[in-house]
Structure 1
Amino acid sequence: MKKLLTLSVISATLISPSVIAANEVNVYSYRQPFLVKPMFDEFTKETGIKVNVKFAKKGLAEKMKQEGKYSPADVVLATDISLLTELVNKDLVQPLNSNIIKSNVPAQYRDSSDEWFALTVRTRSVYSSRDRLGKLGSDFNYSDLAKPEYKGKICTRSGKHPYNISLVSSIIAHQGEAAAKAWLEGVKTNLARKPQGNDRAQVKAIKEGLCDVSLGNSYYLGKMLNDEKQKAWADAVYINFPNQNSTGTHVNISGMVMAKYSPNHDNAKKLMEFLTDSKAQKMYAEVNYEYPVKPGVQRSELVQSWGEFKADTIPLEEIAKYHSTAVKLLDEVKFDL
C-alpha cells in the first residue's frame, strides 16, 4: 500500500478526505487509466500538484450525490455529452470562468453557462465493407441508411447507447421529431440483425459478411488497427464521414466539469486549463486516436490519414436538449427488439 500511495495516480482505491491537501487535486474519471495517467503525470511534473484519481465505468454521479458537500471530487472526466449533462442536471457541478479554456475550446463544444467543456472530439462515422460496398461517396448521408437499398445490410449496437442517442438527438435538432422517427423506422427495417455488441463488434460482423455497413465512433478504427487480433476487422472496412454536402458529420465529445463542492478549486482550474492546452491535447490525440478539441493541434498520423471532414456545427448543448425525446422515439419504434 505504501508503494501505491507514492504514485501520482491512485486508481484502485477511493479518494478519502484525508488525501485532500493544498498541493493536490482529486479527479473522478470515466476515462481509462492508460489515457489520462500520462497527462496527469505531465501536469504534476510541471506544477508539482499531485493528481489523485478514482476510476469507474459507471455510477460516479450517484456517488457524488451520496457524498454531497463532503465529496472530495474536484474534477470529473466523462466520455460523452450525455454523462456531462447528467452531472449538470443533477446539480453536481459549478461553473468555471476561464479565458484560457474559452480560447482553447470552440463555443460549440462547451456549455454556454461554463458548466462543461469538451476535451476531445470523435465522429459518429459509418463503416463500409471494402469488398462488397467500397468507399461511400461524399454525397452519402445518414438518411441513406433508411433507404431500401440498405435492407439487411446494417449492423449497430443498441440504439439506446449514448453514442446512438446523441446521433438521433442531432437528427431531431436538424429535422424534427417526425423525421427522426421515420429515419429510425427505416434503419430498423434495414438491420441485418438485432442491435447488439459494441462498435468494434459491428466491424467484426462486416468482416464476417453479416452486414455491409455499421455505425461506429471514429477512434475505434485506430484501436482496431493497433490490436493484433482486431486488425483484420479494421482492414475490411472504410471509414466514411456522412453529410459532407449538407449539415456535416455528427460529432460527440469527451469532456470535463468542475465538481460543485470542489475542495481544491484553484488546483482544479489549473488542471482543467492544462487539459485543454496544446501539450495535453496532443497526448490525447496520439493515445486514443481522437480529434483534439483545440484548433491547430496536430492529429495523430493515423487519424490524419483518414482525411479531412466537415463537422456538424450545431452546438452540442442544443443536441443534448433532445436526449429524452430520442430515447422516447427509440422506444416507440422498438429499435432494439
Structure 2
Amino acid sequence: MRHVAALAGVGVKTVSRVVNGEPNVSAATIAKVLDAARTLDFQPDLHAGNLRRADGRSRSLGLLVGSVDNPFAGALHRAVEDVALERGVAVFASSLDDDPEREQVAVAAFLRRRVDGLILTTVSGSQGYLAPELRRGTPVVFVDREPAGVESDSVVSDNADGAALATRHLLERGHRRIAYLGDRRGIQTAGERRRGFLEELGRHGVATRDVPVIEDLHDEESARRAALALLTGEEPPTAVFSSQNLVTIGVVRALRELGRHREVALVGFDDVPLGDLLEPGVTVVAQDPRAIGRIAAERVFARLDGDTGSPVREIVPTRLIARGSGEIPPEVSR
C-alpha cells in the first residue's frame, strides 16, 4: 500500500479508504489510486483487511444454489453478481445438489470466510442451525424455497399459481388425461407445484385419484425413462405437465424418441435452453431467476445498510410462454 500511495501521490490512509470503498474520496483520487494499483499489480489482503476495517466486513457474499449447471441457478447467480459487483463485493457460490448435509457444509464454509451475507437455496427440513447467525445480525435471504425453523427474508416464485396456470392452459384446450412429472417430493417447490396442479384439476371437475403423478425425478434421464413408460402404457395421457426444467428436457427426449412430439401436449415449469428453437417450441411457465437474484441481493444490502424491519417475503410472478407444445389439442393424440 505504501508503494501504491507513493506512485499515486497520496497518503497510505487514502489508499486504504479507496480499497475499502469508504465514502468522501473524490473520483479523481480514486482513479489515481486504482491506476497505481493496476500498475503495481496490487491485490489487497482481504483477511488482514477484515481485521483493520472499521465495519468488519469482508466485501463478500455466500450464494448457495441448487446446482450451478442448472440454467435457473446460473441466471440467478449472474443477477446476484451484477448487484454485488456494483458495490465492489465478491460472490462465492456453491451447489446444493438437494443434499441436506451439503447444505450445512456449504453454509459453514461461507461463514468461515466471514461473508457479509448469505443468499441460500435450501433443502433440509429446518434451517434452525442459522438462528445464532441471524441473532448476530448476519443478513440471510432465502431464494426459490422458503425457510423452516427460522424467520428471515425470502424471495420465491409463485409456484402453486404457476402450476395452476400451466394446468389451466391444458384444460382449456380440452385435455382431461394430464400427467404430472415432478422433482423430488421432499422439495418445497415440488410440493407447491404438485398442489397447484391437482387443485386446478379439481376446480375444473377432473377427478384426481386416477391422474398419473410421477415424482422423485431428479435429472433428464430419470424423467426420460418415466415418460417413456408412461407414454407406452395402456392409457397414455394426452398431455404432460413437467414441474422442473430438467424434467421437461427428459420428457421432450422421450416424446421425440417415440415420434409423438406433435401429438402429446407438454407444458413445463421453468424455461429450457433452446426451447423456442424446437419444432414445436416448448410451452413453459417461466420463472424470473434474474429478478429473484436481483431482489435477493438488494435485500442483503438493505440489511447491511441498516434495515432492521421484519422479515420480507417477496413473491415473483411467473408467466406462460406459448410456443406450440402446450397448444396441441387432445384430438391429435387419439
The TM tier, using the shorter chain, reads 0.3 to 0.5
Could you say which structure has the larger radius of gyration?
2
Larger relative CO (CA 8 A, sep 6+): 1 or 2?
Answer: 1
**TM-score by structure 1 length?**
0.41
Q: TM (normalized to structure 2)?
A: 0.42
